[in-house]
Every structure is written in structure tokens, then in C-alpha cells.
Structure 1
Amino acid sequence: MKKTVLLILLCVFSLGFSQKKKTKAKAKAVVEKETTIIYTETDAENSNEARVVAGFLKQNPNHPKVDHFKRKLMDIIMATPPAEESKPMMASVGKDKAAPKADNASKSLASNTSLKSTAPSRTVNYASVGGTSKKSEPDEHGKKTAALLTHLFNNDISDKEAYVNVKNKSKCNMEMKINGKKNYNLIIPARSENYVMVDKGDYQLSTKVCDSPYTTAKKIDKDIEIALNVGE
């Protein structure tokens, strides 16, 4: 009888150990790559995202095709985003900040397309120029875009915000938590990317990449891009 009990306990222990080992095997290491955001002419030409075209213009104010990309940026801003893009993909848990209106952003950009591209030190405030709009209030997508454009074209070194772009290179959806002086939740679909404007400072970043935990502490004092994936 004792031998039978011992045999059963041994089997249960072996089974539990085997399952635990399999569970551990499933959790792969998360691979992170942090880079300074640099946009190329190819990026600006192929992208239909305002942040990419605006970022290229900010980094290359004397490029020979600057007028072409300014017109493209205006077209992107003034176009109505698809319904799925109008849904907010980021929620700030901390104290909300008023964002400039998207319509005002497009009006301000239009008024500056005639300026010479050799004046990179000019500060463009997208919220400073009034304009009429068919909508009483811009949607969240428009607010977010306008806030980013204001930041990208602001050459003030005392700017208190930084732009964080997160690329999800995995096959799983991801929700990034950015906790610090303010808290942010950033949703990034599989094999896609999303961005958020944060107050400069120290933050704890955490998420799960296909069930593999990722957490890190970062001092965010400049615009950065973070790419995440699971190791092979």
C-alpha cells in the first residue's frame, strides 16, 4: 500500500515538474532595440502618417523636396481619418493637458508653406492661428496628431515633452504601461506601432510580449523609438 502511494505521489510530482518546465519554455526573452528617431526620404515618401512626414521635414529643413513634403503633410492633416483611426489608442491616466486643435494645426501649417526652408530655428505653434471647422470639436486622433506636430516643429530646447514611438514586431497585441510623474497606457496591435507624448522624466515601462514579461526603467529626456519582439 505504501509503495502504491509513493508511486502515485512520484507520478504527480513528475507531471507537475514537467508542466512547469513546459510553461517556462514558452516564456521567451523579450528583445528590445532603442534608437533615436531618424526619418529618411523613403520613409516620408512611402508613409501616409503625419508624424513621419513632419519628422522628416523637421530633420531635413533644407532638403530639395521640402515643398513637396509640406504639401503632402497638409493633405494628410486635412484629410478625414478612417473611423477606426479616429478611436483613441492611448489613454493618459495622469492629469490631462489641453491639446491644440487639428484644424488649427492645418491652418498654421498652410500659412507657413511659403516660408523659406532655410529657417529651421522658427518655432511653429499650431495652436496660435484660428480657423473655422465643420466640426465643433476635433476628434482624439486629430488632437493627438496636432500635439505631435506642434512638438516636432518646436525648436525650443526647454520643451518639456518627449515623443515615444513603440514598434510591436511580435505577432501578439500589446499594451504598454508607462508609469512615472504621469501614467500612460499605449495600445500597440501586432506588427504595428503607436506613439505617445510624455512629460520628460523617469519612467517604468512594462508590458507582455506574447506572454513574455518586459519591464525596464528609462529616463526619457528626448524623442526615442523602442522596438520590441520575442527572441527565437
Structure 2
Amino acid sequence: MKKIFLLVLLCIFSLGFSQKKKKAKAVVEKETAIIYTETDAENSSEARVVAGFLKQNPNHPKTDHFKRKLLDIIMATPSPSESKPVMMASVGKDKVNNAKTDNFNKSLASNTASKSSTPTRTVNYASVGGTSKKSEPSEQGKKTAALLTHLFSNDISDKEAYVNVKNRSKCNMEVKISGKKNYSLSIPAKSENYVLIDKGDYQLSTKVCDSPYTALKKIDKDIEIALNVGE
């Protein structure tokens, strides 16, 4: 009788284990080059998307429109602790905005010049938003400024690459990027996040809705990786 009872328990345990094992789904990865369309730039409120479109389409007929949009996005997202510059109150917002627009257009033009020259990364887009000397830019502001500088640089010796990870799943994820330097990306469900990393060989690892994902990648250019679980 005991043997029969133990056999039944073993069968139930085995059945439960096999069902649990079946729940683990394969992770589906899609890696692509980062390409932004006019629709992306028009609908997005993210500086990186508009800047990416401008970099990829310098002669687009709506270039001036998207330059203004990019400037508006940058100026609309200052550091929370940032105070208004004194000259803003004394000179007037319109004059300051016009001056910033002129400076931004000059910076953008210098960084999207012909590739036959040898441009260097001298533009600091962190200054476009007009931060005061008494406060430091937020971490997000620094991140955005570094990305904009990278996007508009034509320097072939650039040692950084832009990695955008899209989380297509219904679960939050934490992506670890391990190599000569280590990086971490927190990505909510149905969202995305990016990081600038030193070019090189890396291991990417995370869990997509409890399904493990690990991949070895040689990252030597800007890429986008979309992750989801299979059906």
C-alpha cells in the first residue's frame, strides 16, 4: 500500500514539474540597425529620436522644423533643481530662445558637415538647455547630452556605441551588459531604454518574464535589440 501511495505521489510531482517546465518560453530577439523615420521624429517627444532622424537625414526638407522641435524638447526638460538664468528675466524669453536657436543651428551645422573633413567632438549639447552655474545637470540630462553629442559626431574614431533595448514583453526587465565595463538597463514592460557603451565584446543577460536570456555580442556600431517571449 505504501509503495502505491509513493508511486502516486511521484507521478503527481513529475506531472507538476513537467507542466512548470513547459511554462518557460524561449526568448525571441531581434537585432537591427537603428533607423528613424519621419513619422518617428514627428510623433516622438524624445530628443534621441528627433536627433537620430536629423543625423540620418541631414538634407530632409523638414530639417529646420525638426531642429526647432529638438531644441524645444531639450529646453523643456531641465534639471529639477535648476534655476532660471538671470539673463532670462532681464533680456526676455524670446530673445534668449532666438539666441539659443542660432547657437544650436551653428552647432548642428558644424557637426553634420561633409565627412571629407576631419570633425572632432567639440559640441557640448548640455549647454543648449541653458543651465545655471549654481546647479549641475541631472543624470538624465547628462545622459541625453552625451547621446546627442555622439549622434551628431562624424568622427570615425568614436569609441562609443549606442545600444537601444526594446522590451516587447508584458514584464519589467533588468538588462546586464558585461564586458570591459559593466552597464545596467532597467526597462519597464512595453517600453525601451538606451545606454552609450565603449565598443567591444559584451555579454547581455536578463530574464524576460522568467525566461532567461543570454547573448554574446561584438558591439562596434549603434544597434537596437528587441526582446520578447515566444508564443
Range into which the TM-score falls when normalised by the shorter chain: 0.7 to 0.9
Q: CA deviation at 1:8?
A: 1.7
CA distance in 2: counterparts of 1:230 and 1:5, whole angstroms? 43
Residue of structure 2 in register with 1:101 after alignment? none
SS at match of 1:22: helix
Alignment of 1:1-232 (within 5 A): 4-80=1-77, 110-114=102-106, 115=109, 119-121=113-115, 125-127=122-124, 133-134=131-132, 136-232=135-231
Q: Which amino acid aligns with 1:64?
A: P
Residue of structure 2 in register with 1:96 after alignment? none
Q: Which amino acid aligns with 1:111?
A: N
More deviation, 38-47/12-21: 12-21
Contact 1:108–1:126 under 8 Å retained in 2: no
CA distance in 2: counterparts of 1:126 and 1:118, whole angstroms? 11
Contact 1:51–1:149 under 8 Å retained in 2: yes
Structure with higher helix content: 2
Contact 2:199–2:221 under 8 Å retained in 1: yes
SS at match of 1:175: strand
Question: CA offsets per residue over residues 36-90 of structure 1, 9 Å max, x none?
Answer: 000000000000000000000000011111111001000101112697xxxxxxx
Residues 124, 111 of structure 1: alpha-carbon distance in 2 compared, 3 angstrom cutoff: farther
Q: Percent identity?
A: 69
Contact 2:164–2:224 under 8 Å retained in 1: yes
Q: CA deviation at 1:5?
A: 1.5
Residues 110, 54 of structure 1: alpha-carbon distance in 2 compared, 3 angstrom cutoff: farther
CA distance in 1: counterparts of 2:213 and 2:60, whole angstroms? 39
Residues 116, 155 of structure 1: alpha-carbon distance in 2 compared, 3 angstrom cutoff: closer
TM-score normalised by structure 2 residue count: 0.82
Q: CA deviation at 1:13?
A: 1.1
The alignment yields a C-alpha RMSD, in angstroms, of: 2.4
SS at match of 1:158: coil
Q: CA deviation at 1:113?
A: 1.1
Q: CA deviation at 1:9?
A: 1.4
Q: Which amino acid aligns with 1:167?
A: K
Residues 128, 17 of structure 1: alpha-carbon distance in 2 compared, 3 angstrom cutoff: closer
Q: Which amino acid aligns with 1:152?
A: L
Q: Which amino acid aligns with 1:113?
A: N
Query: Which blocks of at least 5 consecutive residues in structure 2 are unaligned?
Result: 81-98
Query: Which blocks of at least 5 consecutive residues in structure 1 are unaligned?
Result: 84-106
Q: CA deviation at 1:125?
A: 3.1
CA distance in 1: counterparts of 2:56 and 2:79, whole angstroms? 28
CA distance in 2: counterparts of 1:25 and 1:205, whole angstroms? 24
TM-score normalised by structure 1 residue count: 0.82
Q: CA deviation at 1:202?
A: 0.3
Q: CA deviation at 1:116?
A: 8.5
Residues 218, 108 of structure 1: alpha-carbon distance in 2 compared, 3 angstrom cutoff: farther
Residues 108, 37 of structure 1: alpha-carbon distance in 2 compared, 3 angstrom cutoff: farther
Residues 128, 227 of structure 1: alpha-carbon distance in 2 compared, 3 angstrom cutoff: closer
